[in-house]
Amino acid sequence: MTVTEPKHEEANPLLEGLQLHRTPDPCVLVIFGASGDLTRRKLFPALYSLALRRLLPDKFAVVGVARSPETDDEFRERMKEAVQEFGRDKVKDDVWNWLAEGMRYVSTDFADEDGENRVAKVLNELDRERGTGGNRVYYLAVPPDAISTLLHEIGERRTTEGWTRVIIEKPFGHDLASAQELNEEVKRHFSEQEIFRIDHYLGKETVQNLLALRFANGIFEPIWNRQFVDHVQITVAESIGIEGRAAFYERAGAIRDVFQNHLLQLLALTAMEPPIDFSADSVRNEKVKVLRALHTPGPKHVVRGQYGRGYVEGDEVPGYREEEGVAPDSLTETYVAAKLYVDNWRWADTPFYVRAGKRLARRETTIAIQFKRAPHPPFAIVDEEGLRPNVLVCHIQPDEGVSLEFLAKVPGQGVMLRAVHMDFLYGPTFRTGIPEAYERLLLDCFLGDATLFTRADEVEEQWSLVDAMVAFWKRDRPSFPNYAAGTWGPAASDELMNRDGRKWRRH
C-alpha cells in the first residue's frame, strides 16, 4: 500500500516577528435605533476612532435604521457632527470620507414588512458594491420591548451567505422570566456564539485592568481571599439625575439600570477564580460560578433610596419625583445598597458591600478591597484612626488607576502613624489615550470574540438575584424621598455598614 504524504503549504518565513493586527472579516454593521443618543454619542465616535487606526476591515459598511425620516446624506452629516462633538479624535476628511462612503440610512418601523425588505435590499446592494460578503453585525440599540420582534425578523431573514452576529444593548429583559423568554427567542434563530449582550462596563480599560492586576501579578492573588480580606466595597455612584429618561427609569430603577448589570459584573470580576485562559468561555464560566454562589440578601441587608431636592456641585437640583415624566408618588428607587456574600471556599463570610445610585455627591466607580488589620502592632496607638486597615482601591472612573493605602510613620519623635496612598494613575502612566469602551467592544464583536460580553446564563443568574431582592420590596412601602441630592445616599445605607462595625470609604 502506498502512503501519500499530506501536502502542506510552505509557511511564509517573512511573517515571523511582524506585529500584525487581527483584521476583522468584511462586514456590514446594521444599527437599529440609529436616530438615538447611543448611536450619536458612542457608536459613531467609536467607529470613527477604529477607522482612524485602521482597525476596521477594508470592506466595511454601516446601515442606520430608525423611524425618523432622513436621507443617506443627512444621516452622514448628522453622524459627522456627532463624531466632531463626542469623538476622542479630530475628524480627518480622508478617514471620514472612507467611512461615509459605506453609510446608508433606512427609515422604517422595526416591525414593518416593507421596511425590512428595504433594509435587505440595501444590504444586498452593499454586498455587491463594498464586497462585504453577506457578513452582518446587527446592533440592537432599541427600547427593550422592540428587541424580541427584531430578533425574530433578523432570524427569519438571515441568509446562508456569510456570518451573522447580533449585539443587544442592556437591559436584557426586565426580570428573570422576560430574560429567559428573550434567550429562548435568541436560541430559535441564533447560536450563543452569534449573540453579544453588551455591558459597556466590561469594555472599559480599567475593568480589564482588574483582571491584569489580579492575574498578572504574583503579590495580590495569595491575599485575595477570606483569610486576608476583611470586606469588599463596590461603589457605582453617579452625580447626574435621570437625564430625561423617566419612561425607562420609572420601570427600571437603580436595581435594573445599574445593579443587575454593571455592579454584579464588577463583583463577579473581583471575586472570580483565575480562568485557565482569556477565552470567552473560560472567563465567563468563572464569572457565572460567582453569580451562582451569591447568597440572596435578606431585607435587612438591602437598602433602597430615592433622592429629594438638594445641591450637586453647588447647583440646586430637583428631587426625583419632581423630574419630568416621573409620578409624583413614585416608589422607584434611585439608590440601592446591599450586603452580599459569595458562598464559596475563597469568600465564605466575607461581605461584599455594594451600592449604586443617582444624584450622589460625586461620580465615582470604585472597587475597594479592605484588608484585615495588623494583628498586634507594637506601637502605642493614640486613636482609632491610628491603625487604619490597608485598602487596595481600583478606580474604574474617573481618575482611572489603582491606589494602596498603608500606614507610615510621621517624621519626628516617637511613633505617630498616618495613612498614606501609593497611587498608580492609568492615564499619566501610559498617556496614549484610553480607548472608549465601545471601540473595544465593537471591534471584539467584528472579530467574533465574546469574552467581554455577557452570556445567557450570566444574565439569568443576575436576574435571579434581582428578582429575589425585588420580591421583598413588594411587602413594604418605603418613605421616599430618603436622601438629599448631592449626598452619599440614605442614612440606612450607613447603618448597613455601621451594624457590622464598618464604614463606607470616605471619598
Partner 1 sequence: MATALGTISEIDRELALRRVDPATGEPMQRTSVMTHIAWVPTQWVEAAEDVLTGLADRHPSRTIVLVPDPDAEEGIDANAEVMQFPLGNGRQVCVETIRVRLNGSRAEVPASVVQPLLLPDLPVFLRWRGVPPFGERPFEELIDVVDRLIVDSTEWPDLPAPYTQLAEVFDRVVVSDIAWARTSRWRPQLASLWPGIKDVKTIEVTGTEAQANLLAGWLRSRLRHDVALEHIQADRLAGVKVDGEPAPFPPGERPDPADLLSDELDRFSRDRVYEEAVRSA
Footprint of partner 1 on this chain (CB under 8 A)? 10, 12-20, 54, 398-399, 423, 425, 427-432
Give residues with Cβ within 8 angstroms of 384, minimum separation 6: none
Instruction: Give 500's DSSP letter.
Output: T
Residue 273 DSSP SS3: coil
Q: Do the beta carbons of residue 60 and residue 27 sit within 8 Å?
A: yes
Q: With respect to partner 1, which residue has the nearer C-beta, 311 or 430?
A: 430
Q: Do the beta carbons of residue 52 and residue 443 sit within 8 Å?
A: no
State the nearest-atom distance from the C-beta of 427 to partner 1, in Å.
7
Residue 57 DSSP SS3: coil
Q: With respect to partner 1, which residue has the nearer C-beta, 378 or 428?
A: 428
What stretch of H or E contains 401?
Answer: strand 401-410
Q: With respect to partner 1, which residue has the nearer C-beta, 279 or 429?
A: 429
Residue 71's nearest CA partner among 110, 103, 25, 24 is: 103
Told to judge if 262 belongs to the known catalytic residues of this protein, a careful annotator would answer yes
State the nearest-atom distance from the C-beta of 268 to partner 1, in Å.
30
DSSP annotation string for 305-363: E-EESEEETTEEE--GGGSTTS-TT----SEEEEEEEE-STTTTT-EEEEEEESSBSS-
Q: With respect to partner 1, which residue has the nearer C-beta, 281 or 399?
A: 399
Alpha-carbon span 485 to 239, nearest angstrom: 8
State the nearest-atom distance from the C-beta of 200 to partner 1, in Å.
22
Give residues with Cβ within 8 angstroms of 169, minimum separation 6: 38, 139, 140, 141, 142, 198
Give residues with Cβ within 8 angstroms of 450, minimum separation 6: 193, 195, 196, 280, 284, 444
Q: With respect to partner 1, which residue has the nearer C-beta, 2 or 432?
A: 432
In Å, the largest CA–CA distance within the chain is 92
Q: With respect to partner 1, which residue has the nearer C-beta, 88 or 118?
A: 88
Phi, psi of 389 (to 5 degrees): -75, 160
State the nearest-atom distance from the C-beta of 11 to partner 1, in Å.
9
Alpha helices in 58-175 (DSSP H): 72-86, 93-101, 113-130, 144-157
Alpha-carbon span 459 to 261, nearest angstrom: 8
Alpha-carbon span 505 to 507, nearest angstrom: 6
Q: With respect to partner 1, which residue has the nearer C-beta, 92 or 295?
A: 92
State the nearest-atom distance from the C-beta of 398 to partner 1, in Å.
8
Q: With respect to partner 1, which residue has the nearer C-beta, 15 or 380?
A: 15
State the nearest-atom distance from the C-beta of 54 to partner 1, in Å.
6
Name the catalytic one among 262, 376, 395, 421. Answer: 262
Q: With respect to partner 1, which residue has the nearer C-beta, 345 or 430?
A: 430
Alpha-carbon span 21 to 55, nearest angstrom: 8
Residue in this structure with the C-alpha cell 450563543, named with its chain if needed: 192
Alpha-carbon span 335 to 254, nearest angstrom: 6
State the nearest-atom distance from the C-beta of 507 to partner 1, in Å.
12
State the nearest-atom distance from the C-beta of 218 to partner 1, in Å.
15
State the nearest-atom distance from the C-beta of 436 to partner 1, in Å.
18
Residue 354's nearest CA partner among 406, 433, 301 is: 301
Alpha helices in 87-223 (DSSP H): 93-101, 113-130, 144-157, 176-189, 205-215
Question: Active-site residue numbers?
Answer: 262
